[in-house]
Amino acid sequence: MWTGLGLLLALCVLSRGRAESQGKSTRCKEPPTWYIGEENPMLESRGKVTVVALLQASSFYIILYVSRMDDLHLKLENEGLVNISYMIVNHQGEYSQHKHNLLKQRVSEFIPVYKQDMEKPNVWNLLNGNKDDFLIYDRCGRLVYHLGLPYSVLHFPYMEEAIRIAFCETRCGNCSFTVKDINEICNRTENTDEPVEEPPPTSVPDPPQQNPQHHGAHRHHRQHGHQ
Ligand SMILES: *[C@@H]1O[C@H](CO)[C@@H](O)[C@H](O)[C@H]1NC(C)=O
Ligand SMILES: *[C@@H]1O[C@H](CO)[C@@H](O)[C@H](O)[C@H]1NC(C)=O
Ligand SMILES: *[C@@H]1O[C@H](CO)[C@@H](O)[C@H](O)[C@H]1NC(C)=O
């Protein structure tokens, strides 16, 4: 199954730890409304699983690595996990704003990169987020996961797992935007890693033999005994 227990635990522990350190749980809650200019990106993504990345364009590493978001987007889309909204909110600082286009050039048109207004409230603060955090919302805009480092590193499977969970499961309860198709999609992806066939009875190993040298003879003898 794609929901490995260890992974799930890691995800749960992280999001709970975060919530506790903030004094109140933001899990399964909608975030405060935030704007980029006149735009309300969360409202525009309503009805879709939404992945919000808080990235700082000033870091050379981030600029190199951000194209992995496109890779993940394509990978999941090929598996049928479509209609997911991905977006990046750049850091509000002056230097990051200055480097904004570098970040933007690194991702495809499918992933908007939002430049914060210096005069408006800092979106990262509104979301209780830090650099390199990813926030994953369900179709009703409720926070399912808030992943920070090291879990948000896209080389690791956590992000992908968390998106799958937000897409396939109802961690924050039902949402009327969920389409029927997801059962089929999620069944399919669930089965890809899992051997579904039971091993045929003949491949069940013999019980350990006391003397391996006599193994063949012993088995031959036993088969005769059954005839
Ligand atoms: C994706 O969006 C299209 C168009 O709104 C819709 O017909 C389709 O059912 C959606 N699929 C999923 C898996 O959300
Ligand atoms: C959620 O949806 C499932 C399947 O449609 C339904 O069986 C269940 O009763 C719903 N739960 C709530 C709390 O509405
Ligand atoms: C998904 O899997 C469950 C259990 O394996 C099965 O009952 C259900 O019919 C499957 N749904 C689809 C759409 O294939």
Query: What's the confidence (pLDDT) of residue 8?
Result: 55
For 198, the token pair is 């039971």
Q: Is 82 in the pocket of ligand 1 (CB under 6 A)?
A: yes
**Closest ligand to residue 79's CA:** 1
- Does ligand 1 lie within 6 Å of residue 11's CB atom? no
Cβ 182 under 6 angstroms from ligand 1: yes
Q: Closest by alpha carbon to 41, among 106, 135, 132?
A: 135
Ligand 3 neighbourhood includes 191 CB (under 6 angstroms)? no
Region for residue 169 given its phi and psi (left: phi exceeds 0; alpha: psi -120 to 50; beta: otherwise): beta
Which structural domains are found in the chain, ordered by start? 2-226 (3.40.30.10)
Q: Is the CB of 194 under 6 A from ligand 3?
A: no
Comparing 85-99, 120-134, 194-208, which segment has the lowest mean pLDDT?
Answer: 194-208
- How remote is the CA of residue 17 from the centroid of ligand 3, in Å? 34
Cα dihedral value 147, 136, 172, 125, nearest 10: 70
CA atoms of 182 and 160, how far apart (whole Å): 16
Task: Kindly give the distance from the C-alpha atom of residue 199 to the centroid of ligand 1, in angstroms, as a whole number.
Answer: 37
Output the pLDDT for position 212. 46
pLDDT at residue 9 in the model:
45
Kindly report whether the global pTM for this prediction surpasses the value 0.85: no
pLDDT at 58 over 60: yes
pLDDT band at 125 (very low <50, low <70, confident <90, very high): very high
